[in-house]
Amino acid sequence: MKRISTLLMAGFMLTLTTLAVQTQAQMVEDGKKVKFDYTLKVEGEVVETSEGKEPLEYIQGSGQIIPGLAKGLEGLKVGDKKTVIVTPEEAYGEVDEAAIRELPKSSFPEGFEAKEGMVLELKSPEGQIIPGIVWEIKEEGIVLNFNHPLAGKTLEFDVTIVGVE
């Protein structure tokens, strides 16, 4: 009987060890592929969501997502839900006034009608595509903001971890 209880206890310990390894394998940590659902809010307004879409997938610690969000997800496990608040410094930075430029209307194609909030894709002399937001329309020029649209904003992510490999 003593031998059976020892075997049962060994089996119980084996099961506990296996569960601990599985739980750790499902924890968000550097090098792991993570899948999560999210809703992004800025100033209480939903800006983006994965609802009705595939979860977002990335490798933790690889720089594929903004630093503040990656820090907020560290240590979570499959099924965990969390609200992660990300400051501009750990997201897209503060608004850089030097990235707001006025271009003369003559530099745009004839007949072009700009509207505030419109996103334009401009090509740099090196051929790089640079998105700019029409910030203001003046009599002789169009003011473009080349900052990321979420620069200067505090971001609120409601996340659910759906997979860790």
Whole-angstrom distance, CA of residue 28 vs CA of residue 31: 9
Whole-angstrom distance, CA of residue 79 vs CA of residue 85: 19
Within a 10 A sphere around the Cβ of 6, how many other Cβ atoms?
Answer: 10
Report, at the CATH architecture level, how domain 27-92+151-164 is classified. Answer: Roll (3.10)
Question: How far is CA 144 from its chain centroid?
Answer: 24
Length of the chain counted residue by residue: 165
Each domain of the chain, given as residue ranges in start order, spans: 27-92+151-164, 97-145
* pTM of this structure: 0.75
pLDDT in tens, the chain (165 residues): 544 444 444 454 544 444 444 445 589 999 999 999 999 999 999 999 999 999 999 999 999 999 999 999 999 999 999 999 999 999 999 999 999 999 999 999 999 999 999 999 988 889 999 999 999 999 999 999 999 999 999 999 999 999 999
Within a 10 A sphere around the Cβ of 70, how many other Cβ atoms?
Answer: 22
- The CATH code of domain 97-145 reads 2.40.10.330
Written as six digits, the tokens of 148 are: 């990321």
